[in-house]
Structure 1
Amino acid sequence: MSKKAIQLLSPYSFRGLLSSARQDARVIAVDGSWYMPNNPRNAKEEFDNLRLENSRFFDLDAVKDNSSPYPHMLPSIEEFNQSVRKLGIKNSDKVIVYDKTGNFSAPRVVWTFSVFGHENVYLLNNFPEYERYKYPVLKDNDHTTPEPSDFEAKNFDKDAVISFEQFVEIVSNENLRTKYNILDARSHDRFTGEAPEPRPGLPSGHAPGAKSLPFGKVLGENNLFLDSSTLTKIVDSIGVDPEKPTIVMCGTGVTACILKTALDKIGYNKKGIQVYDGSWT
């Protein structure tokens, strides 16, 4: 189980980092926007027309395990290195990830960088708040392709992720699954089976032993993460035990990382948190 936390960064602190950046310690913003298949918004087109200065676009639909039939499975180290090099990101860079929704897909991108050993990666909390303070943004389609880097992932944190086989072993054993917090970030109706999954052909429902914690419950106004006191009350109310290891899941492994971020924020990661990669899909 991984105890590595996702680190939140306010817009004000982000501006402070930018002012202290150097050539050998750059600050690179990464737009990790992604939308559900039933959402008509186009994340790349939005990036081209509105972005933070010196941003790079991280395509969750492209940076994945291309040999897997499932969406958003973690890529191999080689695939990740190749993708990050094309973005011109260096090992020495501080990477600040955001998404246009606020906190939706960006936590998954931060988690991915962290899994591959990039230490200086932060989650901007968040882009709508950044805009609210009228900090500078770019609103044109005139951006140059960055020069490729020699980025090299340091390692792969296998303790941060749980595989299908490992997950099935846990949830199939009643005694074993009671030793974990298993949290599902999908909507409650999808969890209970009352609403369909957004991907055709997938049944709704939930894994044995899982608890429903829709990701929207840990976010407040403008999709900012709630304060620690409120978050603690919410997770305690559904019976989360901070003395147990935790598995977070969702539809494909994207919004599960929102729950991980919330648990990290309140220190409920002492026994480690794993993301179920691929999740309900």
Structure 2
Amino acid sequence: MSDDPKTLVSTAWLAQHLKDPDLRVLDASLYLPEAGRDARAEYDAAHIPGARFFDIDDVSDSRSELPHMAPPVEKFMSRLRAMGIGDGHQVVVYDGAGLLSAARVWWLFRLMGQTDVAVLDGGFPKWQAEGHEVEDMPPVVRDRHMTVRFQNHLVRDVTQVAAASKLGDHAIVDARAAARFRGEAPEPREGLRKGHVPGSRNVPYTDLLNPDKTMKDPAACRVVFEAAGVDLAKPIITTCGSGVTAAILALALERIGHHQWSLYDGSWAEWGMFPTVSVATGEA
């Protein structure tokens, strides 16, 4: 793969740059309850040297009833400052699943106007499989100021997505598994209707990954989007279950050079319970 410190870097790149004074590494692992995994405990037991733990559920909007919505700017700044991450740092985010939740944190940084951030391709499993160093010690953290410039165009709410669905002026792309998209499989959260946003297309995030959980190269990713009927000439809104795997689609779009994308933060956790918006089932 071609390393890009603004989107995706390889384990070889990270191993080469791990001692750079302005590099900061984040473990952003997050699992659904049914996975039976404790992200914080796994981080405490072993992580990439110097990595800080980024708790997606904590660095979120606690005022919202929806899961891990983007936090207010002030909260993001204070949490990152406490992690010793700020202006002038190159950030690399990874997770323990290979490539799952790390992209969500990449998007959060982008939303806050920070562009020197990349996802570790293949994540912690690939790092460990290759025999790279790990540690169980917490890093030494020094405060660092972060300047935030919120990027409104990278996030969408239910009203904006409903308008896009009705007007057809955006392509809406859903990262959930095909059975959930079609309304054939139950939703993991109680009380949600089954189906998808009318007019949306389905690109399960797993279709963009190789067997080792690295991301397919840009040309292959483009083929996946086109095969799913996504109109790449339009601005794209990505969505999923709760705004996590939608960021994998956003990362892939950025990699293929499609920069007019945004993420529906509430995703199906919101749309599926919103009484005034319609739901489609079956194929797109």
What TM-score, normalized by structure 1, do the two folds share? 0.89
Alpha-carbon distance between aligned partners in 1 of 2:175 and 2:147, rounded to the nearest angstrom? 29
CA deviation map 1:80-119 (0-9, x unaligned): 0111112121212111100010110000001101111122
Aligned to 1:170: 164
In 2, Cα distance between equivalents of 1:125 and 1:150: 26
- Show CA shifts across 1:33-82 (max 9, x none): 00113221010000000100001000011111111111111111111011
The residue type paired with residue 136 of structure 1 is E
d(CA) in 2 for partners of 1:6, 1:275: 18
- The letter for the 2-side match of 1:228 is P
Match of 1:198 among 155, 180, 188: 188
The aligned residue for residue 40 of structure 2 is: 44
Q: Residue deviations 1:110-155, cap 9 Å, x none?
A: 11011111221111112222222211111x3x425624x1423321
Alignment size in residue pairs: 264
Larger deviation: 237-246 or 58-67? 237-246
Gaps of 5+ in 1: none
Match of 1:230 in 2: 220
Q: Is the 8 A contact 2:61 2:72 kept in 1?
A: yes
1:151 has 2:145 as partner? yes
Distance 1:100 1:214 in 2: 19
Whether 2:230 is the aligned partner of 1:240: answer yes
Counterpart Cα distance in 2 of 1:228 and 1:122: 15
Give the aligned partner of residue 263 of structure 2: 275
Could you tell me how far apart the structure 2 residues matched to 1:9 and 1:110 are? 12
In structure 2, the partner of 1:218 is: 208
Q: For the residues of structure 1 that align with 2:236 and 2:68, how far apart are their CA atoms? A: 21
Whole-angstrom distance in 2 between the partners of 1:119 and 1:268 = 16
Is 1:100 the counterpart of 2:96 in the alignment?
Answer: yes
Please state whether the residue corresponding to 1:223 is helix, strand or coil.
Answer: coil
- SS of equivalent to 2:267: coil
Q: Which amino acid aligns with 2:226?
A: D
Deviation of residue 231 (structure 1)?
A: 1.6
Structure 1 range deviating more: 204-213 or 82-91: 82-91
**Quick check: 1:186–1:212 contact (8 Å CA) kept in 2?**
yes
Contact 1:38 1:198 in 2 (8 A): no
- Alignment deviations for residues 216-236 of structure 1 (CA, whole Å, 9 cap, x no partner): 111012111012232222111
Aligned AA (1:130): W
Which one of the candidate residues 246, 250, 254 is aligned to 1:256? 246
- Percent sequence identity over matched residues? 36
Once the two structures are superposed, the pairs formed by residues 29-108 of structure 1 within 5 Å of their partners are: 29-108=25-104
Amino acid corresponding to residue 164 of structure 1 in structure 2? V
Measured in 2, the distance between the counterparts of 1:52 and 1:225 equals 20
- The answer to whether the Cα contact below 8 Å between 2:173 and 2:236 also exists between their aligned partners in 1 is yes
TM-score (norm 2): 0.88
Which residue of 155, 159, 176 maps to 1:161? 155
Change (3 A) 1:6 1:191: farther
Query: Using CA pairs below 8 Å that are at least 6 residues apart, which structure has the higher relative contact order?
Result: 1
Q: Within 1, Cα distance between the matches of 2:161 and 2:114?
A: 26
Mapped to 1, the partners of 2:6 and 2:204 lie a distance apart of 19
Q: Distance in 1 between matches of 2:18 and 2:207?
A: 31
Q: Given the superposition, is the C-alpha separation of residues 208 and 123 from structure 1 closer, same or farther in structure 2, using an over 3 Å criterion?
A: same
CA contact (8 A) 1:183 1:246 kept: yes
Preserved contact between residue 8 and residue 118 of structure 2 (Cα < 8 Å): yes
Please tell me the root mean square deviation across aligned C-alpha atoms, in Å: 1.6
How many Å separate the matches in 2 of 1:150 and 1:225?
A: 31
Cα drift, residue 268 of structure 1: 2.8
